[in-house]
Amino acid sequence: MAIDIASARPEDVPQIHAFVTELAIYEREPDAVLATEQDFHRVLFGESPRAFAVMCREGQTPIGFALYFYNFSTWLGRHGLYLEDLYVTPEHRGKGAGKALLQHLARIAVAEGCGRFEWSVLDWNQPAIDFYESMGAKPQSEWIGYRLTGDALNALADAPET
């Protein structure tokens, strides 16, 4: 059966939430998903969407998805497309769905004039690393990602200006 990729629709939100939960389990963070279906509705389909998703189906069966947003490179003076999540169900891996999702997003990036298409991968996820490198992606090992969340984020936001 052919693989089809199309923009997600509001009725896809429960499946997107389920895929995100499955991905979190795969990434060894089963309790990390705090987002609700309502959060995905608001972010993807609200008044001013800032994130976007595509669904991957085999026939009528959802087998994966990708969620992305746009960032910006001051050096290039152009937006980039940042892939937040890509997931294909285990029983459908090896059929070309992951590659089809990446190709679809690459086409969006090119059509939108993006200068980059970027994502992160966990350092232990060798199958994903091998997959990405097989398509010509290069690791950005000179950059170290940083993150502020929870109390640290609130403390910085609430700190008096100097």
Q: Which of 84, 130, 82, 87 is nearest to 106 (CA)?
A: 82
- How many Cβ atoms from other residues are within 10 Å of residue 100's Cβ? 19
Q: Which of 73, 74, 149 is nearest to 118 (CA)?
A: 73
Active site residue 68: no
Phi, psi for residue 26 in degrees, rounded to 5: -60, -40
Unique residue bearing structure tokens 């896809």: 12
Tokens standing for 107? 């086409």
Task: Determine the Cα–Cα distance for residues 122 and 134; give it in Å rounded to an integer.
Answer: 17
The catalytic position among 26, 68, 132, 146 is: 132
Give the residue numbers marked as catalytic: 132
